[in-house]
Amino acid sequence: MRIHLRIQFPHEMDGEGIHPYLENYGALRKIMERFMENCESLEVHCWEDETDAIRELIAVSDRVDVDGGNPTIIRTKCTPEVKDLLLNRGFK
């Protein structure tokens, strides 16, 4: 059975860009952890100008497929490194 789960990170925007509220993940983090337990692959959508986030995700991914454009879509295996980035560290 395939499950498609869409999660949008809470964020704020200022003159320097978009910043996630890592400290306010709360229930969102628990939902993500639960679904990532048996996750084989995932997809992350970023705006094409979020180059740091795109590079960070690609750097920890052992297999990645990137569809450029706006949004940029990154498909990757759900490895421990990818889970750690999304659940604990967050993007710069």
* CA distances in angstroms from 65 to 17, 29, 56, 75, listed in the order given: 25, 25, 14, 5
Average pLDDT, the chain: 79
53: pLDDT strictly greater than 70:
yes
Distance between CA atoms of 65 and 43, rounded to whole angstroms?
9
- Which string of DSSP letters, residue by residue, matches 78-89? --HHHHHIIIII
Report yes or no: 77 and 63 within 8 Å, Cβ to Cβ. Answer: yes
Report residue 63's pLDDT band, with 50, 70 and 90 as the boundaries: confident
* CA distances in angstroms from 92 to 2, 13, 26, 48, listed in the order given: 31, 13, 19, 15
Task: Give the pTM.
Answer: 0.70
Distance between CA atoms of 89 and 68, rounded to whole angstroms?
24
pLDDT at residue 24, rounded to an integer: 59
The sheet carrying 72-77 orders its strands as 41-46, 72-77, 64-67
